[in-house]
Structure 1
Amino acid sequence: MTTSGATPVPPASTRSAAFFDLDKTIIAKSSTLAFSKHFYDSGLINRRSVLRSAYAQFMFALQGADESQMEKMRAYLTQLVEGWDVETVRQVVAETLHTVVDPLVYVEAVELIAAHHEAGREVVIVSASGSEVVEPIGALLGADHVIATELVEEDGRYTGEILVYAYGENKATAIRELAEQEGYDLAESYAYSDSETDVPMLAEVGHPSAVNPDKALRRVALEEGWPILEFDQPIALRSRVSLDSTGSKVAVAGLAAAAVSAAAGVAFHQLKRRRSE
């Protein structure tokens, strides 16, 4: 069954949660791609790196990607960000904040998040994008928790290592761990995603839904009888969520390190999409 927009959710009967993927589920575009031009303009990414990444993404778009290819791309991207000065990254993001921090979110997703809160559930954003991007966006949306990829920082620089990669089965593992920590009843919990790579996450809960699903996830949803939701009304986040001065400062501080997440997230997001088509 395909439904346009968010669907009503019943009141929570036990302590439970609603788990949301971010890109293409809450936000109408990649949460990390918007920063790429500014990293190049600032010198953090050189032309050779931009061309190499673009070529790799083009080849994956034509041929798809297996686990070996994805691992090679991940290794390349983590090498790319190795040694980046954190303060430089913060300056770049601060200078371009007004042009990139106002991501477009789906009205339907914002309303669904509010509905789950009103029903007594906690909201958790689960994303393969970096925590530097996901956490402040989660704060703006009123999420109670965030699960995201974490990169290692040492002596003010990024080491190029990944501490936590919130992708595929790792999302499901993180959800189980958070559920145990917070006492969520996963059988009474909800989950939403657009990608077939998030089937493990969706299968962890009693109420999974596919949102703007790719072809592979649509097939799975139809086979499993999962609801299929179509979100198609993006709107500027700042027009839907009001912030006080404290909240704004927290969001700015969190986004200051977004460059690392963007460099890694650009290809991670693209590869995730291509594997499922």
Structure 2
Amino acid sequence: MKLAIFDFDGTLVPKDSLPFVLRHWKEQRYSKIKYYRTYFSLIFLYIQYKSERNFKMSREEMRILAVKKFNQIFVGMTQEETSQFFCGCSEKIIALLVKNMVSEIEVCRSQGYYTILLSGAHHDLLKYVGEHLGFDVVFGTQLHFSNNIFDPDIEVEVISGAMKKEKILEYFHYQAIDWSFSRAYADSYSDMDLLELVGQPVAVNPDVKLKAVALDRNWRTII
């Protein structure tokens, strides 16, 4: 089996999806109090990230914290309500998909690749997008529920950085994978572990550090 692994934020969609999801919350007239509380929490986090006093916080660490802070918006909601929210959100975010990357997915499928959508974005959002694009399997950040109500006290595992590689190796542990012919598509240097796992890494609109690596190693690059 050969895999084609696709990142989401910055790869299949041009930017991080979290601000879009928050904007959808506002447009659908969910709780204004929760919206502004979450909005200012994320703004404060971004200011911290940009501050010289917090230079040790990496972009990836900031994104993980952002997802965890954002999840507070779901406090009090049932699993059905959060799923319905992401379903509505996915209908709009599908319109933002990068066309040449959608074509890339179709090419991989026609060449017999097992297609995977793997991201730190919320699983329910990715699930609906993945169904639309025909992915074989989807991995995203899962919300946890107790008695069908979102439980903010259960630690959320944000699939990011090295964890992406771990997730793939864990899932395909008992299967024979042709890693040399497998592909991975990503935009960030933080995805290096995943990109180095496969024989055909592809840098998609890469950040500065990933662009330098891709150029040095003669990796395929999609702009």
Match of 1:146 in 2: 138
Q: Does the 8 A contact of 1:151 with 1:162 survive in 2? A: no
| Higher relative contact order structure (alpha carbons within 8 Å, sequence separation ≥ 6) | 1
2:46 equivalent to 1:57? yes
Q: Which AA in structure 1 matches 2:189?
A: E
Structure 2 CA distance for partners of 1:75 and 1:138, relative to 1, 3 Å: closer
C-alpha offsets along residues 2-55 of structure 1, whole Å, 9 cap, x if unaligned?
A: xxxxxxxxxxxxx20110101111112333432313434411624233223113
**How large is the RMSD of aligned CA atoms in angstroms?**
2.9
Once residues 212 and 198 of structure 2 are traced to their aligned partners in structure 1, the CA distance between those partners, rounded to angstroms, is 19
C-alpha offsets along residues 183-223 of structure 1, whole Å, 9 cap, x if unaligned?
A: 32212200010011101110110110100001111122223
TM-score normalised to structure 2 length: 0.82
Match of 1:135 in 2: 127
Q: Does the 8 A contact of 1:26 with 1:110 survive in 2? A: yes
TM-score normalised to structure 1 length: 0.68
Q: Which consecutive unaligned segments of at least 5 residues does structure 1 have?
A: 1-14, 231-277
Pairing of 1:109-120 with structure 2 (within 5 A): 109-120=101-112
Match of 1:26 in 2: 12
Structure 2 CA distance for partners of 1:175 and 1:61, relative to 1, 3 Å: same
Q: Which AA in structure 1 matches 2:38?
A: S
After TM superposition, give the deviation of residue 123 of structure 1 in Å.
0.7
Match of 1:7 in 2: none
After TM superposition, give the deviation of residue 60 of structure 1 in Å.
1.9
Once residues 82 and 102 of structure 2 are traced to their aligned partners in structure 1, the CA distance between those partners, rounded to angstroms, is 29
> Which of residues 150, 163, 166 in structure 1 aligns to 2:159?
166
Q: Percent identity?
A: 23
Once residues 102 and 38 of structure 2 are traced to their aligned partners in structure 1, the CA distance between those partners, rounded to angstroms, is 36
Structure 2 CA distance for partners of 1:123 and 1:84, relative to 1, 3 Å: same
Match of 1:42 in 2: 30
Structure 2 CA distance for partners of 1:136 and 1:60, relative to 1, 3 Å: same
Structure 2 CA distance for partners of 1:80 and 1:178, relative to 1, 3 Å: same
Q: Which consecutive unaligned segments of at least 5 residues does structure 2 have?
A: none
2:100 equivalent to 1:108? yes
Once residues 37 and 26 of structure 1 are traced to their aligned partners in structure 2, the CA distance between those partners, rounded to angstroms, is 19
Structure 2 CA distance for partners of 1:184 and 1:50, relative to 1, 3 Å: same
After TM superposition, give the deviation of residue 124 of structure 1 in Å.
0.5
Once residues 196 and 171 of structure 1 are traced to their aligned partners in structure 2, the CA distance between those partners, rounded to angstroms, is 13
Range 76-85 or range 166-175, more displaced: 76-85
Q: Does the 8 A contact of 1:31 with 1:103 survive in 2? A: no
> Which of residues 37, 62, 66 in structure 1 aligns to 2:57?
66
Once residues 147 and 45 of structure 2 are traced to their aligned partners in structure 1, the CA distance between those partners, rounded to angstroms, is 31
2:218 equivalent to 1:218? no
